[in-house]
Amino acid sequence: MKSRNQLLLFIILIVLALLFMFPVIWVVLSSFKDKTDLYQWPPSVLPSHFTLENFATAFNKGNFGIYFMNSIFVTVTSTVLLLLFNSMAGFALAKYKFKGDNLILVGFISTLMIPLEVIMIPIFKVISTLGLFNSLWGLIIPPAATPTGVFLIRQYLLSIPDELLEAARMDGAGEWKIYWKIIVPMAKPVLSVLAIFSFMWRWDDFLWPLIVITDPKKYTIQLALSNFIGEYNVDWGSLLAMSVVTMVPVLAVFLVFQRYFVQGMVTSGMKG
Amino acid sequence: MEGTVKAGRKPSSEMTTGKWKRAVAPYLFVLPNLLIFTVFIVVPAIFGLLYSFAKYDGLNPMKFIGLRNYTKVFTTPDFWSAFGKSVEYVVISVPLIYVCSLAIALILSRELAGKGFFRSVFYWPTLISYIIVGLTWKWIFSDSFGIMNYLLGLAGIEPVQWLTDPFHAKMTIIVATVWSRLGFYMVIFIAGLQAIPQDYYEAATLDGASKARSFWSITLPLLKPTSVLVVMLSVIEAFKAYPLMKALTGGGPGKETTYVVQYIYQIGFDKQDLGLASAMSVVLLVIIAGLSVIQLKLTKGGGAS
Amino acid sequence: MKTKSKWLSAALTLTLAFGLAGCGQSAESSKGSGTNTSSPNAEASKDTQKKTNLDFVWFSDGNEGEVMKGLLKQYEEKNPNIKVNLVEVAYADMNTKLKTMISGGNPPALARVSDTSTFFNQALDLTPYVGDPNAFAGQFMDTLKSYYVTKDKKIIAVPLDVTANGLIYNKTLFKKAGVEVPTSPDKVWTWTEFEAALKQVMDKGGAKYGLVWDFSTHRWSTLLYEFGGSMMSVDGTKATLNTDNAVKALDFFVKLHKDGVMPTSVWLGGDNPNNLFRSGTVAAHLAGNWMLSNYKTIDNFEWGVTYLPKEMTRSSVPGSKFLMGFKNTKVEKETADLIKFLSSKEANGKYATDSLFMSPRKDNAKLDYAFGKEMFEVFANELAATPAEAGADWSSELANKFQADLKTGIVEVLSGKTTSKAMLDKMNKTVDTIISENK
């Protein structure tokens, strides 16, 4: 009986997955189509013949090797900083009561509402004043303080029993030790989640690089991709090809980190 | 579990220093984040606020005009019509996203063959840039050249105006939204579900509780912090939604799917009226902040019950 | 957990490694580009010569970026103390990039712009550098003058290429339906005749649709001028959007949709007309000469360019891209020199020929294109037959203030929400207000 239910569930999942994947599969297949196939009517799913010409054209258009390196540097560094800063802040907001804690929380959340475009010019002025113009650090530092991350971690940490922390304090542990040795390990699932998100956000960042970077040698992947979109013409072949290529690292990161969701969590203290 | 705490008790003088350290600690923890946040978001936001009191096109010198922009905001029907459309979009998409992502998360956080594979499948759409999402969905739903209508035509059914009829356009956008955001919230839910100790479920089963009962009495209440997070984030995201609509319908037909943030961008950048756009952003921000505060108060800080 | 700390320390080490690499990189590059330091000249790292760096913000539609890079290399060889940094940005992000750079105190030396009115006050006045301003401006087509020469005779930009709206058609489908296209300008269709011809191509040639039209006010206005209307009076003192001719033009546009000759999915659904035309199921595309380099790669059907229909008069609509320098860059002289080079007969001619564009220079009217020579002649002919109102309308800085609203208005008429007359009456009032506000 149970295995029949399992099987049913499995089948439903497969169907859902196929429906979900259908547009994505189309994108991937289309990147292998030549120009005639791309614009065909009736629309086609499979390429009439697989070709790598889109990938070749796209790679030849610019220094994609450099753009990849830049994107990786920015993404990894920013993610590490973000995990550190956000978890510290989330911990403070979840497990301490201090003056201004609600103000900070609401402040963080409210600013999620500010459309970046409206404050773009002042942001540029700030970046310029700090000497971060045209520097990759200008892409790394500002987004490392994302409110979403703090909020995410705070909510997660709320479930950790205060008694655990009190016990540690009784035993003489300092606050930093509590953070580093208790909180961080326990927060592995949410930190994995945040790592995945941060990787995705920084990898797909467009507006920041557009504002901050002027030297083509410092372009990130997304900035380079946008150049396939002209005023009247869109180089669909190259755009599709490069989009597929840029999806790979983020997907890889996801596959690696999603295992950590499984890793054990807080038990109510009865088990070891 | 990690156990590096020392045994033994501390003398009282160290306890008071400990207390002081404990009082200062939160400020130190919050500091790096707060610093970056203040410099790169708060300071520019204050500038943005200043713009809202001026006539400014981003290039030529500002001219202060006091509250004129704000009066304009409250007397521009187009803004409120866009806002109304946003509200409609939020009210429909948020519950849909919540239910769907929770359902998938529930299924995929149990023991199941190919879990990793399925999670990746549902997460993948979130990785795709909005331009490609727009292109893909247009390929499927385009009135004259989309595959949906082609298939319907083969089945002898009349083609549907997926993107040119206001009602269908809105529907298509909601479907595209759920498709591209489900994975994101699914991941958050999975992490949250993992936080619930297994022993609660075991105890419940021992007591003879059904799966449904376990869900309503254990899962949902203990999931509250995550639920609050998901709802708040998705509401804010839905109000801010812009790149997806732009790529899919361009805000059309006409202005039917022009939601509030797209409208603000048009004012700020097509019409070059950055002052008015800032004022609109401020009004929007106040409304959303208000909603967030209410949400937090209602859920008592968003903690687990 | 142990694995966690291992992972963390690995990540930190990796970050440090990257960080050092990155620092090294940025230190090197900041030596190279000197535009964001107080002195315009870059600190000479190892070169004995001081190189002046010019940031050139650019957008491409097809291959013109590559062509420009070639020209810049040529220029750098002749002028070894100049280094030009081509900053490629997507067309849609041009204004954002320029605005943030200028307002943030780091203006680029020059940029390729399509709209000269936005950066009117920040543009470099080239008059001191070009010798006799009248002679200089006289090298370029007269219709473009109002775009880049201000009322007080300042030259704020120089034309780089000129575009013309025109009619591209699917030869294969037309042949199949046995429909002939006009072979000379005196034999052009009227719009009614053209619609009938398209219907025939649909019936006999199997085309799904007769005509696709770019979703742009600029392209739509072609019809307006052909019907004898215009957006404003030639002197720009009053709006003329609700004249009988204008209403007739819009009504005809709606008719083409209602009759099923044009798909509603372009103007109402955001479908891309390029894609539709390329699928080979549409008989014609009302676009312009910029499509030639894109359509060059079509191999599943034959296509060509023919003359636009007329109603009261023939008309195309001019467009242009410009090179604009900016103030306060401290490299104004070098910028002006570069602009003069790029707009000279040879350089400009090469640029136009290789990118498949039309040159704005009078002495480059007949270029030796490797592809589509006859097509360019048609476009040039269309431009020559364009009434003054078209150039006057689109070179005015007011056009940008209302063209988006006009587009939305047309969409509303198409979706049946309002009538042509009602919408145009309303728009006319709006435009008159804008005119009086900007006197």
Closest-CA residue of A relative to C89 is A227
Yes or no: say if C336 and C350 are a contact pair by the CB < 8 Å rule.
Answer: no
Closest-CA residue of B relative to A31 is B132
pLDDT of residue B304: 52
Residues comprising chain B, all counted: 305
pLDDT band of C20, cuts 50, 70, 90? very low
Closest-CA residue of A relative to C32 is A215
* Contact assignment for B197 to A98 by CB distance below 8 Å: no
Q: Indicate the domain borders of chain B.
A: 2-51, 71-304
- Is ipTM beyond 0.90? no
Nearest to B59 among C121, C265, C275 (CB): C121
Q: Is A199 domain-assigned?
A: yes
* Contact assignment for C271 to B59 by CB distance below 8 Å: no
Torsion over CA: A180, A181, A183, A184 (sign): positive
Yes or no: say if C410 and C424 are a contact pair by the CB < 8 Å rule.
Answer: no
Q: Is it the case that residue B70 has pLDDT exceeding 70?
A: yes
Q: Which residue has the tokens 């297949």?
A: A29
* pLDDT tens for each residue of C375-401: 999 999 999 899 989 988 998 888 888
pLDDT of residue C255: 96
Give the global pTM. 0.83
Within 8 A of A41 by CB-CB distance, chain B residues are 145
Q: Which among C104, C103, C107 is positioned nearest to C87, based on CA atoms?
A: C107
* Contact assignment for C417 to B254 by CB distance below 8 Å: yes
List chains adjacent to chain B, taking adjacency as at least 3 C-beta pairs closer than 8 Å. Answer: A, C
Lowest-confidence region among A211-215, B139-143, C24-28, C271-275: C24-28
Closest-CA residue of A relative to B137 is A23
CA separation for the pair C405, C400 (Å, rounded): 10
Closest-CA residue of B relative to A178 is B5
Give B83's Cβ-side CA count (13 Å radius): 14
| One-letter amino acid for residue B155 of the chain | A
Q: Which among B247, B280, B282 is positioned nearest to B263, based on CA atoms?
A: B280
* Contact assignment for B271 to C121 by CB distance below 8 Å: no
The region that residue C230 occupies, defined by phi over 0 for left and psi between -120 and 50 for alpha, beta otherwise, is: beta
Q: Is A32 domain-assigned?
A: no
In CATH, what number is assigned to the domain containing residue A224?
Answer: 1.10.3720.10
Asked if C433 has any chain B CB less than 8 Å from its own CB, the reply is: no
Q: Is A21 domain-assigned?
A: no
Q: Is it the case that residue B7 has pLDDT exceeding 60?
A: no
Asked if B271 has any chain C CB less than 8 Å from its own CB, the reply is: yes
Q: How many domains does chain A have?
A: 1
Torsion over CA: A41, A45, A48, A50 (sign): positive
pLDDT band of B14, cuts 50, 70, 90? low
Tokens of A158: 């709320």
Asked if B275 has any chain A CB less than 8 Å from its own CB, the reply is: no
Closest-CA residue of C relative to B138 is C271
Provide the CATH topology of domain B71-304.
MetI-like fold (1.10.3720)
Mean pLDDT to the nearest integer, C354-371:
91
Q: Is it the case that residue C271 has pLDDT exceeding 50?
A: yes
Yes or no: say if C258 and C210 are a contact pair by the CB < 8 Å rule.
Answer: no
List chains adjacent to chain A, taking adjacency as at least 3 C-beta pairs closer than 8 Å. Answer: B, C
Closest-CA residue of B relative to C276 is B145
Within 8 A of C209 by CB-CB distance, chain B residues are 144
Yes or no: say if A160 and A186 are a contact pair by the CB < 8 Å rule.
Answer: yes
Q: Is it the case that residue C84 has pLDDT exceeding 70?
A: yes
* Contact assignment for A20 to B179 by CB distance below 8 Å: yes
- Looking at the DSSP assignment, which residues form a beta bridge with residue B64? B54
A178 backbone dihedrals φ, ψ, rounded to 5°: -60, -45
Asked if A263 has any chain C CB less than 8 Å from its own CB, the reply is: yes
How many CB pairs lie under 8 A apart between chains B and C?
Answer: 75
Within 8 A of A77 by CB-CB distance, chain C residues are 15, 18-19, 22
Give B42's Cβ-side CA count (13 Å radius): 13
Asked if B248 has any chain C CB less than 8 Å from its own CB, the reply is: yes
Tokens of C218: 């600029």
Q: Which among A212, A204, A203 is positioned nearest to A123, based on CA atoms?
A: A212
Higher-pLDDT residue of B68, B140? B68
* Contact assignment for C1 to A35 by CB distance below 8 Å: no
Closest-CA residue of B relative to A192 is B191
Looking at chain C, the whole-number percentage of residues with pLDDT higher than 90 is: 65
Give the closest-approach CA distance of C185 to chain A in angstroms. Answer: 27
CA separation for the pair C415, B166 (Å, rounded): 10
Lowest-confidence region among B5-19, B57-71, C73-87: B5-19
Asked if B274 has any chain C CB less than 8 Å from its own CB, the reply is: no
Q: Is A112 domain-assigned?
A: yes
Q: Is it the case that residue B173 has pLDDT exceeding 50?
A: yes
| One-letter amino acid for residue B278 of the chain | S
* Contact assignment for B59 to C408 by CB distance below 8 Å: no
* pLDDT tens for each residue of C163-191: 999 999 999 999 999 999 999 999 999 99
Q: Is it the case that residue B2 has pLDDT exceeding 50?
A: no
Q: Is A147 domain-assigned?
A: yes
Closest-CA residue of B relative to A174 is B18
pLDDT band of C59, cuts 50, 70, 90? very high
Nearest to C265 among B163, B255, B271 (CB): B163
Within 8 A of A36 by CB-CB distance, chain C residues are 299-300
- Looking at the DSSP assignment, which residues form a beta bridge with residue C305? C168
pLDDT band of C352, cuts 50, 70, 90? very high
* Contact assignment for C404 to B144 by CB distance below 8 Å: no
Write out residues in chain A with pLDDT < 50, as ranges.
Answer: 263-272
* Contact assignment for C62 to A233 by CB distance below 8 Å: yes
pLDDT band of B285, cuts 50, 70, 90? confident
C60 backbone dihedrals φ, ψ, rounded to 5°: -120, 155
pLDDT band of B133, cuts 50, 70, 90? confident
- Chain C residues 101-120 with a CB less than 8 Å from chain B: 102-103, 118-119
pLDDT band of C32, cuts 50, 70, 90? very low
* Contact assignment for C415 to B266 by CB distance below 8 Å: no
Within 8 A of C170 by CB-CB distance, chain A residues are none
- CA dist C263 to C176, C248, C273, Å? 21, 20, 10
CA separation for the pair C54, C304 (Å, rounded): 40
* Contact assignment for B271 to C401 by CB distance below 8 Å: yes
* Contact assignment for C404 to B270 by CB distance below 8 Å: yes
* Contact assignment for B191 to A112 by CB distance below 8 Å: no
Nearest to A41 among C104, C281, C297 (CB): C281
Q: Is it the case that residue C34 has pLDDT exceeding 50?
A: no
pLDDT of residue C33: 35
Nearest to A114 among B10, B26, B45 (CB): B45
Secondary structure (DSSP) of C32-75: H--TTSSSSBPP-SS-SSPPEEEEEEE--SSSHHHHHHHHHHHH
* Contact assignment for B225 to A155 by CB distance below 8 Å: yes
Give the closest-approach CA distance of B192 to chain A in angstroms. Answer: 7
Nearest to A181 among B2, B44, B127 (CB): B2
pLDDT band of C323, cuts 50, 70, 90? very high
* Contact assignment for A134 to C274 by CB distance below 8 Å: no
Closest-CA residue of C relative to A121 is C100
Q: Which among C253, C398, C16, C374 is positioned nearest to B272, based on CA atoms?
A: C398
Give the closest-approach CA distance of A216 to chain B in angstroms. Answer: 21
CA separation for the pair B253, C270 (Å, rounded): 8
* Contact assignment for B254 to C268 by CB distance below 8 Å: yes
Within 8 A of A257 by CB-CB distance, chain C residues are none
CA separation for the pair A64, C38 (Å, rounded): 32
Q: Which among B188, B67, B173 is positioned nearest to B130, based on CA atoms?
A: B173
Give the closest-approach CA distance of A1 to chain B in angstroms. Answer: 15
* Contact assignment for C61 to A234 by CB distance below 8 Å: no
**In C316-416, beta strands by DSSP E:** 318-325
Asked if A135 has any chain C CB less than 8 Å from its own CB, the reply is: yes
The DSSP output letter for B268 is I
* pLDDT tens for each residue of C213-270: 999 999 999 999 999 999 999 988 999 999 999 999 999 999 999 999 999 888 988 7
pLDDT of residue C49: 62
Yes or no: say if A23 and B137 are a contact pair by the CB < 8 Å rule.
Answer: yes
Averaging pLDDT over each range in B38-52, B280-294, C301-315, which range is the top one?
Answer: C301-315
Q: Which among C119, C180, C173 is positioned nearest to C148, based on CA atoms?
A: C119
Q: Pick from B12, B41, B269 the residue to mutate for testing the A interface (most A CBs within 10 Å).
A: B41
Within 8 A of A24 by CB-CB distance, chain B residues are 124-125, 128, 136
Domain span holding position A70: 62-271
Q: Is A43 domain-assigned?
A: no
* Contact assignment for A134 to C62 by CB distance below 8 Å: no
Higher-pLDDT residue of C132, B215? C132
* Angle B71-B73-B79 from CA coordinates, rounded to 5°: 155
Mean pLDDT to the nearest integer, B186-205:
83
Q: Is it the case that residue C316 has pLDDT exceeding 60?
A: yes
Tokens of A249: 């690292």
